[in-house]
Every structure is written in structure tokens, then in C-alpha cells.
Amino acid sequence: MARYTRLRQIQALDPERDYQDIYRISAEYEFPWDLQRSLELALFRTYAVPSIGELLDRTGEFARQGQKRYDDTVALLYEMTQDGGLDAERGRAALRRMNRIHGRYSISNDDFLYVLSTFVVIPVRWMAEYGWRPYSRHEVRATANTFRHIGRLMGLKEIPETYEEFSGFLDRYERKNYAYAEANHRVAEATIAIFEGWFPGFLRPLARRGVLAMTDAPLRQALGLPRAPRALEIAAGRALKLRALAVRLMPPRPSSRPKKPYTRSYPDGYALKDIGPAWVDDPGRRTA
């Protein structure tokens, strides 16, 4: 089928050498919508670790300008993984900017590894459940190698080597570190407010319940969130699977689409200097 043309292209590449190309093809053309949703869920999960939730709450970025904080994350990840990725100067510049942002805070190596693990594991699990096809073995390996590369350039230590190691690390870290904190709850509510803002007023309660429908019990408990109605959980899962079926029957995504993702904070496009808090380019300015 024509829908699988790019999968054949991916399988002709070497995930040990061409992992950035495989990740780009998969993200840009095979699963753009699904990858975006899965990465949103990945970031949401990180708030349930109090050391992460409390740091994000303390900065005040989500409370003051949550949409920009979200868009900056999308933009940085895009710049590091697309159009040459970390082999291109723009990708390296985006990573340097991200390291500059993180460098103002005391963040443990394990917390960094956990966030990195969510970017590897949650998309793979999402595609297996809701994608129009699961990730191929090449895509799984390329995803792990892409974020291993990012982790190395971040200066992280003891980075998992395989998807299975990332998955095991993530599950162990969540079992050990998920715990309720008021800061977790505030950051989660601020993020839900971002999602609600994408919809007209009359749909916002449904948008909120839709977010809750995609959470599991340990995550909800650590964030202090209620469970969505069981009927909505079932309906949300079925709707995503019906969407996957519809996408499977569609032709491949055209190659002529615009490259950069749309961001609400930068409707006319962005420059790297626009990304991040105001203090990033002002070394004398104190952080929250």
C-alpha cells in the first residue's frame, strides 16, 4: 500500500547511523499528530515527580505564560531533531540554548534521565495503542539513539543504551518517585488550562475531561486530579483508535508541507533568541 511507502524508506536506513533521519521522517510525515499528543502526555507525566513539579512551579513560567512555555518546548525539540538535527548548527544552537536555560537550576542527573526517558518511551507506547501502526523496530531504536545523543550533549551520565533500558528506568523511577505535592497539582492545572484555551468556551469542560481520560491512577494521585467518567475514558480510547483506522486508509502525508510546527506564541515564526524566559540573554538577571 502507498501508505507504507515511507516505512519502507525507514527500513532501508541504519538506526545506528541514520537515527536522526529516521526520527525526522517518522515525526514529520508518519506520526506528526500522534507524536505531538504523546509528547504532551510525556511532559505531563514529569510533573508527578515532586522535585520536577516543585521546580516548574517555583519558576512561575506555567502560571505566567504557560502557552509560551509549551511552545518553547515544542520549538526546541523541533530544532534539535529536524532539518539536520544535531548535526546542523541550528540544532546545536537550540541545544545550547536549552542547556543555558536548564543551567540556572539545580536538576539531578536522574531527573534529567527521567524526562529524557518519557520522550523515548511514551511515544512508543502511544503508537502501539493509538497510532495508525506501531513504531517499527527501526523507529524504536532510532528514537532511543536520538535521545541518547541529546542526553550526551546535555552532559548526562549513565544514559540507558536501549529502548528496553529506557522503559525499565522510567517505570522504576515512577514507582519510586511519584508522590503528591501541591506544586505538582498547580503545574498540572496550569497545563490543563493551556489545553482548554485551544477550544471555544463551551468545549473547555470536555477538553479538561479529555485530558483526565488519558491519565492512569498513579499519575492522577500524584497530581491531585480526579478521574474522568469511565464512559469518557472508554469513548476517548475508541475515538483515538477510530482515528488511527481512518489515517491508515489515507494516502501518505505530502512532502511539500511547511516544515516548522505552528505555535500559538509565534504565529509568524520564531528566532532562537525568542525561545525561553526573558533572563536567558541577561546573565545578570535573577531567576525565580
Q: Using 50, 70 and 90 to split pLDDT, how confident is the model at 282?
A: low
Q: Using 50, 70 and 90 to split pLDDT, how confident is the model at 281?
A: confident
CA distance 248 to 9: 17
222-228 LR contacts (CB < 8 Å, sep 24+): 222/47, 222/48, 222/49, 222/178, 222/179, 222/180, 222/181, 222/184, 223/47, 223/48, 223/180, 223/184, 223/185, 223/188, 224/180, 224/182, 224/184, 224/185, 224/188, 225/185, 225/188
Question: Shortest CA distance to 144 belongs to which of 243, 22, 278, 3?
Answer: 22
Average pLDDT of the segment spanning 105-132: 97
Sign of CA dihedral 260, 79, 75, 126: positive
Average pLDDT of the segment spanning 116-144: 98
**Residue 257's pLDDT is what?**
58
pLDDT beyond 60 at 110: yes
pLDDT beyond 90 at 120: yes
Q: What pLDDT digit, counting tens, does each position of 180-191 carry?
A: 999 999 999 999
Q: Using 50, 70 and 90 to split pLDDT, how confident is the model at 84?
A: confident
Q: Using 50, 70 and 90 to split pLDDT, how confident is the model at 284?
A: very low
Q: What pLDDT digit, counting tens, does each position of 150-181 carry?
A: 999 999 999 999 999 999 999 999 999 999 99
CA distance 181 to 185: 7
Q: What pLDDT digit, counting tens, does each position of 207-253 carry?
A: 999 999 999 999 999 999 999 999 999 999 999 999 999 999 999 88
**Residue 57's pLDDT is what?**
93
Average pLDDT of the segment spanning 61-89: 87
Q: What percent of the chain has pLDDT over 90?
A: 72
